[in-house]
Structure 1
Amino acid sequence: MGVVNITKNTTMICAPLMAQSVEQVLSNMYQAKAEGADVVEIRLDCINNFQPGKDLEIILTKKPLPVLIVYRPKWAGGLYEGDEHKRLEALHLAEDLGADYVDFELKVASNILGKQYSSHQSGTRFIVSCNLDCETPSEEDLGYLVSRMQATGADIIKLVFSVNDITEIARIFQLLSHCQVPIIAYSVGERGFVSQLLSPKFNGALVYGSLKGTPVSGLPTVESLRQTYKVGHINADTKVFGLISKPVGHSKGPILHNPTFRHVNYNGIYVPMFVDDLKKFFSTYSSPDFAGFSVGFPYKEAVMKFCDEVHPLAQAIAAVNTIIRRPSDGKLIGYNTDCEASITAIEDAIKERGYKNGTASFGSPLAGRMFVLAGAGGAGRALAFGAKSRGARVVIFDIDFERAKSLASDVMGAARPFEDILNFQPEKGAILANATPLGMHPNTDRVPVSEETLRDYQLVFDAVYTPRKTRLLKDAEAAGAIIVSGVEMFLRQAIGQFNLFTGKEGKCLLIFL
């Protein structure tokens, strides 16, 4: 197996293997190849009773794809606690036995690589790595660190960051773009997740992905890198779109938008963005590369003040779920695609039931009905305005009673304290809509509506779409109500977003659900 040459202009997918036995290492290597990895990183310090001479020969003679050898000591975040001389001997042996890449920590590299290069006859490439557990260094300090690493004679340098905010990743992207040698640089954890996905855009040499069945916290899977994000097709011209939310791990946006971008030959990527501070986020990611955003919980209302312009419908609702950076002047324009998406999903479900029963009627089936809404946040506002536009009478429950009263005033509805929803007696044929996070995985609690009152609702809608059928919907279905999943709203609003993102027709999104 020849070396896959990591260069500055090529991004490879690497699967980290932390198996505890040589047999499992071999099995995982074949699995990694089957899932689409280009390289595997083998952590020798994870192997129980590791015997360098015997184990390395087995691994390196039976490898089905290129191998990066790491033997991480405890002082560098690994598991090895033995003699340092023996550890380094094992790494040199890996080179002699044909390892494609060998990783040395910066602390020891300066003393090793200069001597090593004087007799460097193998095809092995040397990686010099540094794990930064502290706050992300300043641009100046990063430049100095990279210079030190390059001075060791490394073929490739590797930096692993620990970030506290997504805005710190911008320094990683800048580093990737300007480094003169091949570089691997990324952050771990939910806030650092996007550093892996966008590394190819900024000339990163390697991205890491975990294998099915052996997930690594904060890493995408090899399969998602290869299939969902298609990192091999990302380049400097790729436009970045993403979901601004907190949390963000539940989002199905990437598996919907990314295939659709490719279907219409649009050079874009859609990624989850765990955002803590909107002001810092928008001031940091202000380049044309970041072309648009979906906005999720809890930011649909707060994000409005960061838009330069807001579409009249979104202005009326006072909630934005889509932002486009206008190419002509870079201004951020806010829209709301939730309103029509949610209301048409509800209307169509009632009409479909009517057609089945032979009682279809013209006009909106919401006209004159009681519309009971749980949650007065961004999604709730969209539902309330949509219901009002169809002639429904809106009753709003929210844990923040003042917020419920404010929304009720805007739609000429009524507000009630949230705790009253448990025993609230709706009119027969009323609609119940949940626009709170209750029911979202892993919080499976449903909106606290009693079993008795559920029977009075003709239709129950849940804006939560992970899981697809929430506990509220299961209970409502058992009570005989029509149920509408948040997936229906999600898909419809995503079509609207796709059209805004690309200027293209987004109905092909339907084939990817």
Structure 2
Amino acid sequence: MLELRTDYLENLNVDLVRNLIAEIKSAVGKPLPLVVTCRDQRQGGANSYPQQLRIDILAAAIKAGVEFIDIEFDNFIRTENQERIRVALSQSIKGRLILSAHNFSTKFEDIKKLYRSIMTLYPVAIPKLVYTANHINDCFYALDLLQQTAGERIVFCMGEAGLISRILAKKLGSFLTFASINEQKATAPGQLTIAQLKVLYRYDSISTNSELFGVIADPVGHSLSPAIHNVFFAEAVMNKLYLPLLVQGGRDKFDEFLSNVLYRGWLNFKGFSVTIPHKENALNYVKARGGFIEPLAEKIGAVNTLVIERQVTSNERKIRAYNTDYEAALDAITSALKVERTDLKDMPVAIIGAGGVARAIVAGLCDVGAKVKIYNRTVERAEKLAADFGCEFTGLDDLTNLDAKLLINCTSIGMHPDVDAIPVPVEYLKKGMTIFDTVYNPAQTKLLKQAKSKRLKTIDGVSMFINQAAAQFKLFTGQDANVKLMLKTITNFL
């Protein structure tokens, strides 16, 4: 299906649209349903064309044989507009009407009432209700409406926070969703490209029964987890879908999101990867609700994997929490250094950061007897982490006295898109050091590039990412991951 947004055309007139419709039908050479829209600028239109011209365009499009026209509900309720459109539709064998409403600032005051108003006025119309989600939790109003209604309707959210609603529209029976030819041609905030929707998110494979997974993060746009997990699901012919879940805010917003998911069992979420800044929030959520916490994750004080299980005797959903960073980091270090874990005993290690990733790596290194010192902007967080594992701590201003054989960046500094940022000034990197950056996008961060320029050994974040993701896939599916395919997928994206 193709939407023709005539409000983007310069010098718009009826003949121009008639000719364009004829050219499209001739060029395609096969049936291609067309939606013709001439959007009011007040609801996202590209140009401020007179209302009479916009109605003329839609009426002419129906007469030219298009399958659908889209008009704003607020304009359709005007008697003169409604009469013109109704007459045009009555003279068409196949023409259908989409009645749309948009809110570019926030969610509708009452989306269900708006839906009922459209259906009452014109029962055979296809309602299209689209609003901006300012937080991912705003998406649940749209998803609820899709779940609670039937028939032909179009409901989703705009904006980065609303992205999941565009993808899940098919799972919940939305008549259609929208995608652009490329990122530059997007006609609304947060709109995916056709390639992203069909290839990355396997849109054609989504069904009502698709099981959902996702990565909870802020930011999330850099994450390659959707790419690798969806490739795995496709290879294994699994009816599963992995989504990017932008959960902004602190623990309260994180808790609200997970509670929204658990309350809506019909969404069929089965598991999550959890990363910056929510690894400790995830642990606290599961702990507060009496879920299972892997002993290692309890000891670390942070989790990066959540698995949702439905209780056999009820609809209650329990969460199991794990940490796959610990083993992944140790394996990445020992593999790169070509040593055993026991060889890390007494090795002086500098850890930059004190968040969830740092907790897992500090736990692992302390377990093997390394001499760990934590450097962090907020000294109090470093002090707490050091106290939990019996190691040293200090502030970032003490980097001038850095003395370590292994330096590990556990912050997001240098991560896409801020690729020119560096967590440690190059002058503090000394001969004989090995530099490990847990950031994997880009694989060669500025920190690693600077270290290589000084002929230091480096470890990129890709190996750790692959190790932890493979372990997550096993927890999600019970099957071993194809590590070679994972590496190939990551390499293609990076």
Q: Considering the TM-score relative to the shorter chain, is it more than 0.5?
A: yes
Aligned to 2:328: 341
2:4 paired with 1:42: yes
Among 153, 165, 189, the residue aligned to 2:135: 165
Structure 1 residue identity aligned to 2:41: K
CA RMSD of aligned residues (A): 2.0
* Cα distance in structure 1, aligned partners of 2:337 and 2:421: 22
What is the 5 A alignment of 1:320-359?
320-328=303-311, 330-351=317-338
Instruction: Give 1:86's aligned residue.
Output: 53
Partner Cα separation in structure 1 for residue 359 and residue 323 of structure 2: 10
Distance 1:58 1:452, change over 3 A: closer
Deviation at 1:168, TM superposition (A): 2.0
Measure the CA separation in 1 of the matches of 2:38 and 2:319: 47
- Alpha carbons of structure 1 residues 226 and 79: separation in structure 2 relative to 1, 3 Å: closer
Paired residues of 2:59 and 2:88 also in contact (CA < 8 A): no
Equivalences for 1:120-131 in 2 at 5 Å? Answer: 120-131=91-102
Which residue of structure 2 aligns with residue 396 of structure 1? 374
Q: CA deviation at 1:117?
A: 6.7
Tell me the distance in 2 between the aligned counterparts of 1:311 and 1:279: 20
- Is 1:299 the counterpart of 2:278? The answer is yes
2:193 alignment counterpart = 221
Structure 1: unaligned runs, 5 residues or longer: 1-38, 352-360
The Cα shift of 1:167 comes to 1.6
Counting only pairs closer than 5 Å after superposition, residues 244-263 of structure 1 correspond to structure 2 as 244-263=216-235
Distance of 2:425 and 2:132 partners within structure 1: 46
Please say if residues 347 and 364 of structure 1, whose CA atoms lie closer than 8 Å, have aligned partners that are also in contact. no
Per-residue deviation, residues 280-305 of structure 1 (Å, max 9, x unmatched): 11221114412111111111112211
- Give the number of the structure with larger relative contact order, counting CA–CA contacts within 8 Å between residues 6 or more apart: 1
After superposing the two structures, state which structure 1 stretch, 68-77 or 211-220, moved more.
211-220
Q: 1:470 aligns with which of 416, 438, 445?
A: 445
Answer yes or no: is 1:95 the counterpart of 2:62. Answer: yes
Shift in Å at residue 327 of structure 1? 2.9
1:64-117 CA-to-partner distances (Å, cap 9, x unmatched) read 243211101223331343332222011111111122211011123244267337
1:203/1:380 Cα in 2 relative to 1: closer, same or farther (>3 Å)? Answer: same
The 3 A distance-change label for structure 1 pair 166 and 449 is: closer
**Change in CA separation of 1:445 and 1:84 when aligned onto 2, cut-off 3 Å:** closer
Partner of 2:489: 512
1:398-431 CA distances to partner (integer Å, 9 max, x unpaired)? 111111112122222110111222x12314xx01
C-alpha contact 1:157 1:181 (8 A) present in aligned 2? no
Q: Which amino acid aligns with 2:337?
A: I
Give the C-alpha shift of residue 178 in structure 1.
2.8
In 2, Cα distance between equivalents of 1:78 and 1:166: 25
In 2, distance between residues paired with 1:71 and 1:178? 30
Equivalent residue number for residue 15 of structure 1: none
Q: 1:188 is matched by which residue type in structure 2?
A: M
Residue aligning to 2:256: 280
Residues 1:187 and 2:157 are matched in the alignment: yes
1:58-457 equivalences in 2 (<5 Å): 58-63=20-25, 64=28, 65-110=32-77, 111=79, 112=82, 115-116=86-87, 119-133=90-104, 135-137=106-108, 141-150=110-119, 151-212=121-182, 214=184, 216=186, 217-276=189-248, 277-286=253-262, 287-288=264-265, 289-307=268-286, 308-328=291-311, 330-351=317-338, 364-421=342-399, 423-427=400-404, 430-457=405-432
Could you tell me how far apart the structure 2 residues matched to 1:135 and 1:368 are? Answer: 55
CA shift in 2, pair 1:135/1:336, >3 Å: same
Q: Could you say what secondary structure the match of 1:181 adopts?
A: coil
**Structure 1 stretch displaced more, 259-268 or 333-342:** 259-268
Is the Cα–Cα contact under 8 Å of residues 367 and 390 in structure 1 kept in the other structure? Answer: yes
Alignment size in residue pairs: 461
Q: CA deviation at 1:182?
A: 0.7
**Structure 2: which 5+ residue stretches go unaligned?**
none
Cα distance change on mapping 1:291 and 1:439 into 2, 3 Å:
same
Q: Secondary structure at the match of 2:408?
A: strand
Counterpart-to-counterpart distance in 2, 1:119 and 1:215: 34
Whether the 8 Å CA contact 2:308–2:320 is kept in 1: the answer is yes
Please tell me whether the aligned partners of residues 498 and 506 of structure 1 are also in contact (alpha carbons under 8 angstroms). yes
Partner of 2:19: 57
Alpha carbons of structure 1 residues 230 and 44: separation in structure 2 relative to 1, 3 Å: same
TM superposition shift of 1:385: 1.0
Please tell me the residue identity of whatever aligns with 2:383. K
Q: Cα–Cα, structure 1 residues 56 and 386, in superposed 2: closer, same or farther, change >3 Å?
A: farther
Deviations 1:449-474 (A, max 9, x none): 34344233432111111212110010
Shift of 1:215: 5.1
The aligned amino acid for 1:57 is N
Q: Quote the sequence identity (%).
A: 31
